[in-house]
């Protein structure tokens, strides 16, 4: 069997008819940027999440960037976040001219450890960007409590957590703003780049609406300096066609995750932990194994694609080397990157494929414990 790490063709094959209909509508409308499809998707997505406003933007990176600006983050401000994330979280903070301050992660959920936030707060701290990594929300209540006490803004990075919940609340609705990505491989993916800022605050929504469109207030009247960062009509139409399926896709992800959890429970594998009050949507199924390189090679030989998310935390990237010394605060981040590995997990995997992945992981682990026992 050959099982790629991801396969976006499968979803299109299932939804060819509604997606083709939606895109045809855009072609024949003759209107391609900021029209009725974007408006409709913004409303649908905000309703799905139970928030007041959704503002479509060009990408998830831009969603974080514009949300930070709209929340008043200025050059030189410090923004607290994690190093164990996809680099775009940091691209957005850098775009805003802000200085990232890294906090270590919780060892079981891989999300920001709220107990380590306060020691990193200074007079320059303006915002916290918790990342709902791999599909699970960060522990938001203590984060919000600290933010409230210090007067900080909270922008949730929800790029990997569309549809995830924390104590019954949807990802993206707990902070001042939530930033979503519709990059094709995300749980709700477009056919190109796309993103959205979710907020219950009308002023923030209004600022993002201007910022994404050259700072324009009404046509050719520019209230503030802005950018070009818009969700386009085609992507919005595709996203509207897909949104009704998001919950069932996330359920299927959870079902596969639970099969993996059970099958690997007796192996020397650390499985993802879903915290009791959270609904994990398994954007990624990340395990920790000893001898990762051999494990990955074994699976590759058996036709199973795997990826490391992420091999190099941001503070150890060449592009962010000025923050390397913050590593002293990040022992867990630096440790876990050595043995994490992501298995294929997407709604379109067949039961046979899931069986094959399980069988192969069991085989790999039994082989490796035989090596370790010698």
Ligand X SMILES: *Cc1c(COP(=O)(O)O)cnc(C)c1O
Show the tokens assigned to 17: 């008819």
Of the listed pieces 8-16, 30-38, 53-61, 141-149, which binds ligand X according to CB under 6 A? 53-61
Q: What is the spatial distance between Cα 93 and Cα 91, in angstroms, rounded to a whole number? A: 6
- List CB contacts of 63: < 8 A, sequence separation 6 or more: 57, 92, 159, 179, 180, 181, 195, 196, 197
For residues 175, 236, 249, 62, the Cα torsion angle rounded to the nearest 10 degrees is -40
Site string for ligand X, 170-189 (x = CB under 6 A): -----------x-x------
- Is 88 a binding residue for ligand X by CB under 6 A? The answer is yes
Q: What are phi and psi of 81, to 5 degrees?
A: -155, -165
- Is 85 a binding residue for ligand X by CB under 6 A? The answer is yes
Residue with smaller CB distance to ligand X, 42 or 193: 193
> For residue 12, what is the enclosing H or E element?
helix 9-29
The minimum distance between CB 21 and ligand X, in angstroms, equals: 25
- Residue whose CB is nearest to ligand X in the complex, by number: 60
Q: Number of residues interacting with ligand X: please give it, by CB under 6 A.
A: 15
- Is 111 a binding residue for ligand X by CB under 6 A? The answer is no
Contact pick of 11, 23, 61, 111 for ligand X (by CB under 6 A): 61
Respond yes or no: is residue 126 known to be catalytic. Answer: no
C-alpha closest to that of 289 among 270, 316, 274: 270
The 3-class secondary structure across 39-99, one letter per residue, is HHHHHHHHHHHCCCEEEEECCHHHHHHHHHHHCCCCCCCEEEECCCCCCHHHHHHHHCCCE
- Is 285 a binding residue for ligand X by CB under 6 A? The answer is no
Of the listed pieces 1-9, 82-90, 272-280, 316-324, which binds ligand X according to CB under 6 A? 82-90
Active-site residue, from 124, 165, 167, 186: 186
Catalytic annotation, residues: 186
Interface residues with ligand X (CB under 6 A) are 59-61, 85-86, 88-89, 131, 157, 159-160, 181, 183, 193, 195
């Amino acid at each position: 069997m050959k099982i790629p790490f991801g396969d976006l063709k499968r979803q299109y094959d299932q939804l060819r008819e509604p997606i083709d209909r939606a895109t045809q509508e855009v072609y024949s409308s003759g209107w391609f940027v900021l029209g009725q499809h974007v408006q409709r998707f913004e409303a649908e997505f905000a309703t799905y999440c139970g928030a007041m406003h959704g503002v479509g933007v060009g990408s998830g990176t831009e969603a974080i960037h514009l949300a930070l600006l709209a929340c008043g983050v200025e050059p030189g401000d410090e923004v607290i976040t994690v190093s164990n994330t996809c680099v775009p979280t940091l691209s957005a903070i850098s775009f805003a001219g802000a200085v990232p301050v890294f906090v270590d992660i919780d060892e079981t959920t891989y999300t920001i450890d709220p107990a380590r936030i306060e020691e990193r707060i200074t007079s320059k701290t303006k915002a916290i960007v918790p990342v709902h990594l791999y599909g699970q929300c960060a522990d938001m209540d203590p984060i919000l409590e600290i933010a409230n006490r210090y007067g900080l803004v909270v922008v949730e990075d929800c790029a990997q957590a569309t549809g995830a919940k924390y104590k019954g609340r949807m990802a993206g609705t707990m902070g001042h703003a939530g930033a979503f990505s519709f990059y094709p491989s995300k749980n709700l993916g477009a056919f190109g780049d796309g993103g959205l800022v979710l907020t219950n605050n009308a002023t923030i929504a209004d600022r993002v609406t201007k910022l994404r469109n050259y700072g324009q207030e009404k046509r050719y009247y520019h209230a503030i300096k802005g950018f070009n960062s818009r969700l386009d009509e085609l992507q919005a139409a595709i996203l509207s066609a897909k949104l009704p399926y998001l919950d069932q896709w996330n359920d299927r992800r959870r079902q596969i995750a639970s099969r993996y959890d059970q099958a690997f429970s007796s192996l020397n594998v650390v499985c993802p932990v879903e915290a009791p009050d959270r609904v994990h949507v398994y954007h990624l199924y990340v395990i920790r194994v000893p001898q990762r390189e051999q494990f990955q090679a074994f699976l590759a030989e058996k036709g199973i694609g795997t990826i490391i998310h992420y091999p190099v935390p941001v503070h150890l990237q060449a592009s962010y080397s000025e923050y390397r010394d913050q590593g002293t605060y990040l022992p867990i981040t630096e440790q876990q990157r050595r043995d994490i590995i992501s298995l294929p997990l997407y709604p379109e995997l067949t039961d046979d494929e899931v069986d094959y992945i399980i069988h192969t992981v069991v085989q790999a682990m039994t082989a490796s414990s035989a090596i370790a026992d010698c």
